[in-house]
């Protein structure tokens, strides 16, 4: 935004020269983009347009950062408290129809207008700010905007139909010719200023030709208003017109600023052309509340790491126009008091904003450097992070590729199961129907990886570590999961994946793991991708970590198996496993047994029955081979490996043979098994 060095120097005579001012502003207040002769291009933060998009505002910042009081500060505060409305019969009628888009509207009716050339000093300031002088009425409107920050507009009163101004939305089919002869088609969501019949101006953006002030104008209406920033922003972009007024309105101005604009413009018009103000209408239904914040010096110093005293802090606040009052009769010297922000400071909302003002005036470069007094813990030692990295290293060393899939699933997910649909987490603004819900399982993405890569490869070995989401008792539950998939063309992968899992558990330090069939532990959301008839529950220390299952609906001749594990549970169990366990004192005995059973019999049930045959010395039971063939007439061949080991003695063949005979009898009786 362009500012006049001439006007800033007039307001703050202590300014030495343009170069010194540039350095001072950039260090303590706002960044200066450049200087061209007497024009300063200052980069204002969007939240400071309410007070600093004006020469008065920037001058106050300059004075405050220099440690001096701004000469106009008291005058501005006095003007803000003055009443602008006049009593008696008003020659002007103002109506606000779009109350949601106009917080305040001041219309000042003036007579004895003498349109002519502006004084040299006004034209000089306008030129330095990149504006073209037009006539004294228009130039004073622009000058007051530059001085106070309040956009103003002047209408020729004699060109108003019925002496009325109406703030309303445009009607369908309406258009307007602007002051620079552009014809603009209006839409019904645009705010305009109209008389009894026609649009006269695009509110907060540009005036129209119909009520333009010219050399024949004798009576005018000065508009000082406050419009909705979102509406102004959208309209400005829609019509392709960006003005100094729209730039200010679109960044939120205080409704109180209209008072400054109306009074200051009246003062200048009276002094320059002896104008007479005959009536003022001020529609301001909901006045802006004061912003009063509790300030606690000890919290401020703790937050900033400083040691400011009450006197210093109070001086900074008063230089910026803040008002200090006691809190609950506590003396201000105690360090706890109330701070009332200036009406134009729309950016002050939290005590932290007050802390920022203090440290800004003090100077960031003047803050004492100090090492932080905190205990830093390297993130690499966090159990979950360590385990995740270790799992990645193990799986990649076993020849697997890590994949990253979308965290979303389509609107067809679980379409035939109302219970599952009720537990899905929907996106508020999905980018397409393919990404409607947060994924509740990794199985869908891994299944898609097999399908897409089957065209190029004969075997796929991949894993993914990612988050899944689901509703649980009206709350959204988020879990970190590990998914592993092995698939190939023509070769079953179930036992290979099972062996890979055992190797993974061994390398990460989880030893006590069992896998068995359990229909009650079937995965909630993976049913569309796995076979529930060929699935094992993975358990350790009574916790179900996840499942191992064969995949279904794969491309022709492809076989695959998948694993999903809960990383949070895995982390808890692996950490708990980090304890000393002595090596076995006595040797183990290994026996294999092959049986022929009906295909309906579950492998998990058979393994559990064998384990319970003599739990005191049977250490482990594993399935090591499976064979199916049409010639077996509805049966399948299973080979199990049984490990016998006792903690207190060396087992003999006689003891083991006795247990094996019991196991054989059990299998024949309970599962109608044929021993091979």
Question: What is the tens place of the pLDDT at every residue in 201-219?
Answer: 999 999 999 999 999 999 9
Which residues are within 8 A (CB) of 502 and not within 5 positions of it... i.e. 6 or more apart? 513
Q: What average pLDDT score do residues 3-12 get?
A: 95
Higher-confidence residue of 531 and 582: namely 531
What does the mean pLDDT of the chain come to? Answer: 91
Q: What average pLDDT score do residues 480-493 get?
A: 94
Query: Are 423 and 454 a contacting pair, CB within 8 Å?
Result: no
Give the tokens for residue 369: 């450097």
- In this predicted structure, what is the pLDDT of residue 385? 84
The string of pLDDT tens digits covering residues 307-330 is 999 999 999 999 999 999 999 989
Q: What average pLDDT score do residues 259-277 get?
A: 93
Buried residues in 122-158 as b, exposed as e (16+ CB within 10 A): bbbbbebbebebbbbbbbbbbbbbbbbbbbbbbbbbe
The β-bridge relationship of strands 2-4 and 31-36 is unpaired
Which residues are within 8 A (CB) of 187 and not within 5 positions of it... i.e. 6 or more apart? 170, 238
On whether 33 is known to bind a ligand per the annotation, the reply is: no
Phi-psi sector, 483: left (phi>0), alpha (psi -120 to 50), beta: beta
Reduced 3-state DSSP string for 374-409: CCCCCHHHCHHHHHHHHHHHHHHHCCCEECCCCCEE
The string of pLDDT tens digits covering residues 78-91 is 888 888 877 778 88
If DSSP codes are grouped into helix, strand and coil, which group holds residue 37?
Answer: coil
Buried residues in 19-40 as b, exposed as e (16+ CB within 10 A): eebbebbeebbbebeeeeebbb
What pTM, to 2 d.p., does this model score? 0.61
The β-bridge relationship of strands 408-409 and 437-438 is antiparallel
The string of pLDDT tens digits covering residues 660-671 is 999 999 999 999
Q: Could you tell me the pLDDT band of residue 579, with boundaries at 50, 70 and 90? A: low
Question: Could you give all domains of the chain from N- to C-terminal order, each with its CATH number?
Answer: 2-77 (3.30.56.10), 93-283 (3.50.40.10), 292-364 (3.30.56.10), 380-581 (3.30.930.10), 584-676 (3.30.70.380)
Percent of the chain with pLDDT over 70: 97
Q: Could you tell me the pLDDT band of residue 378, with boundaries at 50, 70 and 90? A: low
- In this predicted structure, what is the pLDDT of residue 144? 96
Percent of the chain with pLDDT over 90: 72
- In this predicted structure, what is the pLDDT of residue 379? 52
In this model, does residue 581 exceed pLDDT 70?
Answer: no
Give the tokens for residue 109: 């009716």
Half-sphere exposure (CA, 13 Å, Cβ side) for 141?
22
- In this predicted structure, what is the pLDDT of residue 374? 64
- In this predicted structure, what is the pLDDT of residue 578? 55
In this model, does residue 369 exceed pLDDT 90?
Answer: no
Q: Which of 191-195, 278-282, 289-293, 597-601 has the lowest mean pLDDT?
A: 597-601
Query: Are 603 and 624 a contacting pair, CB within 8 Å?
Result: no
- Closest CA relative to residue 34, chosen from 66, 65, 5, 64: 5
In this model, does residue 60 exceed pLDDT 90?
Answer: yes
- In this predicted structure, what is the pLDDT of residue 521? 73
Radius of gyration of the chain (CA): 40
In this model, does residue 518 exceed pLDDT 80?
Answer: no
In this model, does residue 438 exceed pLDDT 90?
Answer: yes
Q: What average pLDDT score do residues 385-403 get?
A: 92
Place of tokens 């109306």: 262
Cα separation, 625 vs 596, whole angstroms: 12
Cα separation, 94 vs 263, whole angstroms: 18
On whether 347 is known to bind a ligand per the annotation, the reply is: yes
The β-bridge relationship of strands 199-202 and 175-177 is unpaired
On whether 401 is known to bind a ligand per the annotation, the reply is: no
Long-range contacts of 305-314 (CB under 8 A, 24+ apart): 305/367, 305/368, 305/370, 306/359, 306/362, 306/367, 306/368, 308/358, 308/362, 310/334, 310/335, 312/362, 313/358
Q: What average pLDDT score do residues 558-584 get?
A: 82
On whether 357 is known to bind a ligand per the annotation, the reply is: yes
Cα separation, 506 vs 485, whole angstroms: 19
- In this predicted structure, what is the pLDDT of residue 380? 43
In this model, does residue 600 exceed pLDDT 60?
Answer: yes
- In this predicted structure, what is the pLDDT of residue 580? 62
Q: Which of 128-132, 222-226, 603-607 has the lowest mean pLDDT?
A: 603-607
In this model, does residue 244 exceed pLDDT 50?
Answer: yes
């Amino acid at each position: 935004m362009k500012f006049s060095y001439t006007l800033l120097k007039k307001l703050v005579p202590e300014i030495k020269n343009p170069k010194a001012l540039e350095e001072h502003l950039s260090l303590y207040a706002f960044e200066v983009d450049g200087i061209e002769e007497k024009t300063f291009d200052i980069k204002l933060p969007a939240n400071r347009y309410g007070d600093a998009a004006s020469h008065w505002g920037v001058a106050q910042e300059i004075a405050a950062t220099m440690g001096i009081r701004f000469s106009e500060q008291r005058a501005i505060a006095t003007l803000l408290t003055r009443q602008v409305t006049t009593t008696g019969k008003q020659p002007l009628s103002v109506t606000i129809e779009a109350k949601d888009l106009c917080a305040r509207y001041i219309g000042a009716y003036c007579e004895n207008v003498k349109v002519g050339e502006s004084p040299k000093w006004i034209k000089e300031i306008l030129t330095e700010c990149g504006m073209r002088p037009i006539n004294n009425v228009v130039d004073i409107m622009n000058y007051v905007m530059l001085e106070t920050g309040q956009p103003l507009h002047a209408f020729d009163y004699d060109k108003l139909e019925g002496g009325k101004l109406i703030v309303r939305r445009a009607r369908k089919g309406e258009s307007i010719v602007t002051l620079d002869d552009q014809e603009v088609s209006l839409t019904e969501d645009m705010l305009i200023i109209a008389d009894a019949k026609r649009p006269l101006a695009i509110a907060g953006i540009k005036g129209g030709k119909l009520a333009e002030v010219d050399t024949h104008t004798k009576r005018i209406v000065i508009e000082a208003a406050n419009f909705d920033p979102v509406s102004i922003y959208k309209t400005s972009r829609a019509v392709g017109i960006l003005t100094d007024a729209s730039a200010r309105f679109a960044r939120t101005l205080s409704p109180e600023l209209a008072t400054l604009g109306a009074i200051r413009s009246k003062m200048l018009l009276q002094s320059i052309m002896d104008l007479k103000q005959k009536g003022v209408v001020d529609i301001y239904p909901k006045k802006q509340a004061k912003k009063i914040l509790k300030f606690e010096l000890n919290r401020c110093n703790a937050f900033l790491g400083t040691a400011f005293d009450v006197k210093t802090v109070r001086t900074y606040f008063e230089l910026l126009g803040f008002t200090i009052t006691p809190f609950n009769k506590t003396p201000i010297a105690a360090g706890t008091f109330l701070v009332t922000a200036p009406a134009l400071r729309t950016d002050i909302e939290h005590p932290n904003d007050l802390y920022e003002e203090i440290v800004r005036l003090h100077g960031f470069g003047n803050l004492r450097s100090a090492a932080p007094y905190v205990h830093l813990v390297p993130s690499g030692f966090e159990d979950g992070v360590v385990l995740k990295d270790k799992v990645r290293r193990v799986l990649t060393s076993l020849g697997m590729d890590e994949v990253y899939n979308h965290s979303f699933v389509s609107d067809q997910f679980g379409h035939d199961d109302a219970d599952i649909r009720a537990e899905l987490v929907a996106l508020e603004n999905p980018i397409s129907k393919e990404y409607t819900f947060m994924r509740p399982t990794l199985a869908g993405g891994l299944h898609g990886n097999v399908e897409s890569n089957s065209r190029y490869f004969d075997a796929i070995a991949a894993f993914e570590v990612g988050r899944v989401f689901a509703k649980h008792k009206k709350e959204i539950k988020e879990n970190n999961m590990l998914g592993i998939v092995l698939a190939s063309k023509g070769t079953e992968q179930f036992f290979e994946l099972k062996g890979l899992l055992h190797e993974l558990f061994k390398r990460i330090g989880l030893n006590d793991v069992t896998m068995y069939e359990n229909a009650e532990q079937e995965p909630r959301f993976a049913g569309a991708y796995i076979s529930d008839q060929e699935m094992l529950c993975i358990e350790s220390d009574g916790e179900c970590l996840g499942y191992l299952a064969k995949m279904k609906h794969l491309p022709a001749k492809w076989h695959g198996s998948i694993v999903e594990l809960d990383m949070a549970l895995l982390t808890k169990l692996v950490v708990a496993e980090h304890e000393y366990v002595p090596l076995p004192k006595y040797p183990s005995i290994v026996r294999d047994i092959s049986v022929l059973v009906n295909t309906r019999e579950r492998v998990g049930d058979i393994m559990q029955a064998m384990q319970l045959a003599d739990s005191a010395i049977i250490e482990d039971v594993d399935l090591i081979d499976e064979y199916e063939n049409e010639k077996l007439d509805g049966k399948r061949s299973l080979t199990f490996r049984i490990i016998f080991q006792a903690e207190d003695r060396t087992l003999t063949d006689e003891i083991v043979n006795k247990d094996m005979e019991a196991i054989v009898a059990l299998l024949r009786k309970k599962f109608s098994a044929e021993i091979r």
